[in-house]
Copies of this chain bind each other. A is one copy, B any other.
Amino acid sequence: MSDEDASKKLRIDFEPIGRRVKVSPGTTILEAARLAGIELVSVCGGGGTCGRCKVRLMSGAASEVTDTERHKLSKSEIKEGFRLACQAGLSEDVRIQIPPQSLTTPQRTQLEGEGEELPVTIDWKAATLAMQPPSLEDLTADITRFRSGLSGAGFSKVEIESQASVSLPEQLRKNLWQGQVVLRGTGTQKYRAVTFLPSEAVAVGMAVDVGTTKVAMYLVDLQNGGTLAKSGAMNPQISYGEDVISRIGYCNTHSDGRKVLQSVLVDTLNAMIEENCQSAGVTRDQVVEGVVVGNTVMHHLFGGFPVQQLGEAPYVAAVSEAVEIPAASVGLMMAPGAHVYLPPNIAGYVGGDHVAMLLATGTWNSKKNVIALDIGTNTEVCLAAQGKLYCCSCASGPAFEGAHIQAGMRAARGAIERVEIDNGTVRVQSIGGLAPVGICGSGILDAVAEMTMANVVDTRGSLRSGALGVIARNDRQEFVLVTAAESGTGDDIVITRSDVNQIQLAKAAIRAGVEVLLAVAKLDAAALDEFIVAGAFGTYLDLEHAVRIGMFPGLPLERFKQVGNAAGGGAKQLLVSKERRQAADVIAEKMHYVELTTYRGFDQLYVQNMYL
């Protein structure tokens, strides 16, 4: 290896964790992961004997597969690009996928959020049945025998859907024809048979918030509405596109794209069901009802609906009404007759997760003037005023998720989440207290606000040459947050003018959306009683800074409320409450959706709000 080669830095991307590091040639993947602050399981300390640090090469090549790896990995794993991180040496830029089981520290996922636990009011019943097993004297078919048992227990009008009748015979035999049947529905209509369980088993429900980046799942006791277990995971669709637009693009260019994106998501959901069932001490046969909320694209990809029209004007949803789909029809491993409820979508870019958030935060029927928003690549904003509901979707871009930002990364360990500039001294705080490796949304927001206050940037977003901390490199100005000596990557961590501009575009889009809704409702910003900020980024952002850069209107800070993953809280409410499902329909019906792209005056508001 020549000296020139050795001095060249390689760029290593870790997926789905969204972290990046530069390393010298010859570094192993395990060492690179450590430099990036990612803790891979490595019981043997890198000796190749434990075989736990399994990762997968997605693009680029590493050193030859070693005998140790041939010993520890199956042939099909090697074919699929799996490596032991401790064995594979790096010599070029690569993209690496880390399977969840290879991580010691679970990804930081937002699970807690607004949304009180409600009493269970959805219609379901459990009835104890004791049937005689078949014999040569009684050759009655299984389902007919089951129907007789149901009739005997007073349930004569019961629908047994095909998926239930496929699984019930085995459930009945496994339980020796004794146990409880779980039914959905009311006596006035037909009941639907969901599952057959041992007598003592509890019925549980599953509420899921499918975000573009992260997935949160909650297991809820359907007797008392209590949460039994919860977990978070990355949305595996990330490997097929960071944002919804690139995933729609994947579907447009791959004939099986919709099927692929649906099945990787369902696989992850099934693994989460398994995990949560284990921690709650139940089986998947006990999961009798589900709710999935997500933005319209996530909704469509989960349900298998076409998405092409969501990527082209006029961006209409295939389905906006609330739907209940058989869990088995999408491959979800729940009770055989379980259905999954998806709340209504408002528009192509305002989905059922927004409806869930409005339910959980009480925005939907508030008597006050309330703005509620969830910041993401698209930021959904809702205004409740004088008993009316208005909403819009702002194209705020992925800057707050770390994309298109020089040192940007998702909110994972090692990410700078707080920045303070005090009299010329820059202080940063990173997630997990590690040596910083990049900067996540809340950190970028802090940095830009602090840089504005410290007069490092001007109102148009230019870095003032000569200001403290500003250096010129490659013909451009950069502000050094962390020097190479203190960073975990061996390089300076900087904010560029382009980074600042990205934040300007993002915050202007959000603020313009807020202003449009206020204008449509003929309300002054000062008249807002509450300003609710939902979502993971919304939880961690510094409100004062958000107001300072003009992303939010200048209200007294006590009117702001950071509510965490309220969509998840709303999903839990929709799972147990019949009234909440009715309310979701009311929201969808009442909601006045404002399409910003055709709103007169939007562009002007957008430009006005670009300044810092």
Contact = CB atoms under 8 A, between A and B. Distances in A.
Given A163-B329, A597-B136, A320 B169 contact: no
Interface stretch (A231-239, A309-317, A446-454): A309-317
A595 interface: yes
The number of times this chain is found in the oligomer is 2
B169 A309 contact: yes
Interface stretch (A299-307, A419-427, A549-557): A299-307
A348 to B, nearest CB: 7
B309 A136 contact: no
Nearest to A136: B314
Contacts of A170: 306
Interface string A158-189: 00001101100110010000000000000000
Interface residues of A, number: 45
A602 interface: no
A142 B303 contact: no
B144 A321 contact: yes
A136 B313 contact: yes
A598 interface: yes
Contacts of A138: 314
A305 B347 CA distance: 40
A162 B303 contact: yes
A355 to B, nearest CB: 14
A608 to B, nearest CB: 24
Task: Pick from A136, A162, A306, A313 the residue with the most CB of B within 10 Å.
Answer: A162
A141 interface: yes
Given A309-B173, A321-B143, A162 B326 contact: yes
Given A141-B321, A141-B345, A143-B320, 8 more contacts: A134-B314, A136-B595, A140-B320, A141-B317, A142-B316, A142-B317, A162-B304, A162-B323
28 contacts: A134-B309, A134-B314, A134-B316, A136-B598, A139-B314, A139-B316, A139-B348, A140-B316, A141-B316, A141-B317, A141-B318, A141-B319, A141-B345, A142-B309, A142-B316, A142-B317, A143-B319, A144-B321, A162-B323, A165-B303, A165-B305, A165-B319, A166-B305, A166-B306, A169-B309, A169-B318, A173-B309, A329-B329
Interface of A: 134-144, 147, 162-163, 165-166, 169-170, 173, 303-306, 309, 313-321, 323, 325-326, 328-329, 345, 347-348, 593, 595, 597-598
